[in-house]
Structure 1
Amino acid sequence: MDCVLGIDGGGTKTVCIVMNAEKEILGRGETGASNYQSIGINAAFKSIELAIENAVIEALKTIKSLEVQVICLGLAGVNRPRDIEVIKKIVNDLQKSHRLPIMWELEQIIQPDNKSNNIIICHDALIALVGGICRDVGIVVAAGTGAIAYGRNHQGISKRVGGWGYILGDEGSAYQIAIAGMKAAIQAYDGRGELTSLVDVFTNHLQLETIEDLIEFVYRRGMGVKDIAAFATLVDSAAVDGDGVANEIIDDALGELVKATFTVIDAIFCPHIPNPSPQTIRNDDFEIVTTGSVWKGKSNIRERFIKVINQKYPYIKVILPRFEPAYGAGLLALKQYLQKSDSKAAH
């Protein structure tokens, strides 16, 4: 059976789906991280290989054989030409793997210009958009450990805002909320900041004798970005309990996410219009999908985000993801396969 593979690879997990021409998922496999920049190329290859293997084994329970016509890999941090070259090598090695019971119909040698008929390598924001909305037009606003707003319009023009990482950016992310909360607690303890319950919140939650022990907890224990980002829920809860400083932090995060979203809208959906009216964009033009842990907070940040967006553009729908990013990768692969099939039929 002709199939396509959709792969979502990130710093936490890797998901592969096997999809047929009717958009049905025949198999799904999930493994650990596959961001080669953090775990290395060999480990990334093994994660992707195992995710494919698990998905294929499930698919072969209902069909006799698989012929992979197109593969789409949506991977975190794949932006530079060197990143593309690394993934090209991984794709070529996958086709040689004896662990994968697949008949490959892909190109063994990918051209340097990356123009392949059946291999798609893209940023994970694109597959999150396509999986969330089920089309490649719209905006995804991801606010988890990191944060990014990414959009693509009807002409295929895309715009990215944010996603610069925890040192250079990621405003509106869980990491930045957590860092702002810890800084506020320290400043209040010093006497150079507003009084806030965050001092007690962090002290009690982390079982510290005093907030001064936060130094040892963060620096000497080698807390990672994801570990710190998890503390955003403490700030969110303090905001719900009425802490003014915590609410300011949540407000700032909301403001950054709104700003990023409006920047994408202005850049690709109503360019060259200084002050677009609500009628400039209609609800049949595109949707905005929100993904990530920040939107799940108890402080209603998502509801407030929707309210601000709709105050300016009442026709835009803000939705939750319809499907996962790996499904979006599968849809992109399937679109390429169908275009390729139509082209062959025409000749």
Structure 2
Amino acid sequence: MDSKGKQTFDFNEHQHIRYNPLKDDWVLVSPHRMKRPWAGQVEKLAEDDVPERDPTNPLCPGSRRANGIVNPEYTETFAFDNDFPALLDDCPELNDTSDDPLFRTVPARGKCRVICFHPNSNISLPLMTNAEILKVIDTWIQETIQLGLTYNWVQLFENKGAIMGCSNPHPHCQVWASSYLPNEIRIKDQMQQKYLTKHGRPLLMDYLDKELNTKERLVVENDNWAVLVPFWAVWPFETMILPKRHVQRIEDLTNEEKRDLADIMRQSLIKYDNLFETSFPYSMGWHGAPTGQYYTTDTSHWVLHASYYPPLLRSATVKKFMVGYELLAQAQRDLTPEQAAQRLRDSSDVHYKRK
């Protein structure tokens, strides 16, 4: 209440909507809903009894995959062509010459790869060493450079946990390269270009400067990187990794920036796991300037960044459902980004399995 007895607005108590300048959309924040009781679906706890090596697991060293190929006895990161790709390079030409604006089709070509992070199945990135994570980052860079010579977009992404649709517990991620710009990237490209034209600086560099000034949503930082909960975050404990230098693509990172990235990834993922003392599930991915033909165009409006979208809301077994209003109207969240950032900051720096 103010001095006149009128109720004053509190971001942590009252509903409001927040603008996402990267995607030109809004998210509804309803913090008062955190007080409601939960009687909905409860997920299974993450499995902790995954064997170190399983000869029937197609991602393990020496295992035979569905196409008959036997994996080498790899001892660090291992990348190979996806046995069941969503995109193929040998798609035939489309002979549809229709100019109907309601029925448009364009050929889609691409390549899908898989990257195994580690030879052991019972380990994840927060339990790996900085040196091992650095090997993963180097492989991300190698794949991006190689595929980026041919394709206009290279999407690095990881789905972690069965709750996020991961069908194999072995630590791995995927790389999908495409001839076209996917929807999320096309919108981010337009919005970052508009911001640079109007304000003269990249959107995410201006944004990071302001976040580092207030530190209200900052989770962890080092000399070259910051991890924060975005002001416009949709998922309960969503985070973004941003470089402190204007970097457009992951292959532009210096050796020092790569080392610091490995360290800050491990730190932030340990905080995730410690939050509910479980192997924290998420979908994550990197977005940077497009590749292929875009190497010859001005992409100075782009800033490299990674996004983590974890579904857990209240505990290791209660997740956020994106249904109903979220599907038909707009994204909605209960926990405020500031509350989420505080809880992550307060989470221990020592992994709960190693205390």
TM score, norm. by length of structure 2 = 0.22
TM score, norm. by length of structure 1 = 0.23
